[in-house]
A and B are shown apart, each in its own frame.
Chain A
Amino acid sequence: MTIEQIRAAIQADPALLALARADVPDEAAIAAALPPGIALRESFVTERGVVAALGVLDGEQFLTALESFAGAALTSEHPLAPYQPGIARQLAWLKRDGIDVGSTPARDLLDALAAAGVINAEHAAVIKALAEVRTPVADMDVRRAIWNDDGSRAV
């Protein structure tokens, strides 16, 4: 999170705002309460990777759901109908080199499939997390969000 994002998050939460406005703000507690920053990295996931991440049963359910969707006879009104050929192609990649779940198209696709009920949303989140690098908010960043350089309070 940027300093501005941390500042906005503090101001949006009365409990954090109270901590921040103490004489000696508990920077560690505020940092721990804030969501970590998430950076994406390239991460190619194959069928094996899906099973490793979700387990045998859930992994099979996830892959079967995708295969069923790719082979289903969708009506033209189905919101994901235009994407069906592309999903079938990505399924083929999943069996070979894998899909980069750090890429925006792959992540958007997983979200869309979850929203449409094709796959379990929790499963989609686990697969997407394979490409996520989480960085906790640093105490010093909280301090910089609370105080301006001139010593006045920013929140």
Chain B
Amino acid sequence: MSNTTLTSTVHTLVAAGTSNAAGATKRGTADMRGSLGGFLQLKITNGAPGPTAQCEGRVLVAHTTGTTPAAASAGADWKTIWRFGGGTANNGVTESGAIEVPFGAQHVEVEFTGNTGQAVTVEAVMTKVASAATA
């Protein structure tokens, strides 16, 4: 009987505590080629006062087997697969819940943008199943 061992690696796409200024955008990418997918979480934390328009967190993938495209908004390289909003409440904390980056996604990007009036704090972290070894 054989055993399969998964090897996981943790990728910080946007570091905890990163401030996204009003009108600004923060992005992070990860190369998923050769992996078995991953488990991604995003978080948006408002200050007090909260923003006048909410920050939106987005997950995008790129369908290229080449190197990871430069981080960018949705377009020729990056396609949006999921999004959520951080709201405008003072000190509001919004977590994305579990986002599965499926087997087959070649590259993944997270993007935080859209907040106006106030900065918000954003974070994105992913555990990637890098490989599986059977012995």
Residues of A within 8 A of B (CB): 24-25, 27, 140, 143-144, 147-151
Contact = CB atoms under 8 A, between A and B. Distances in A.
B118 interface: yes
Interface in B8-51: 21-23, 48-50
Contacts of A27: 49
Interface residues of B, number: 14
B88 interface: yes
A150 B117 CA distance: 6
Contacts of B52: 140, 143-144, 147, 149
Interface in B90-119: 90, 116-119
A24 B90 contact: yes
Contacts of B23: 149-151
Contact of A149 (B48, B49, B88, B116): B116
A151 B119 contact: yes
Nearest to B118: A151
A interface, over-half SS = loop
A148 B115 CA distance: 11
B118 A24 contact: no
Given A143-B50, A143-B88, A147-B22, 10 more contacts: A24-B90, A25-B49, A27-B49, A140-B88, A149-B23, A149-B52, A149-B116, A149-B117, A150-B22, A151-B116
Closest 9 CB pairs of A and B: A151-B22, A147-B117, A149-B116, A144-B52, A24-B48, A150-B23, A143-B52, A150-B22, A147-B52
A144 B117 contact: yes
Among A144, A148, A150, A151, the most chain B Cβ lie within 10 Å of the Cβ of A151
Contacts of A140: 52, 88
Interface in B119-135: 119
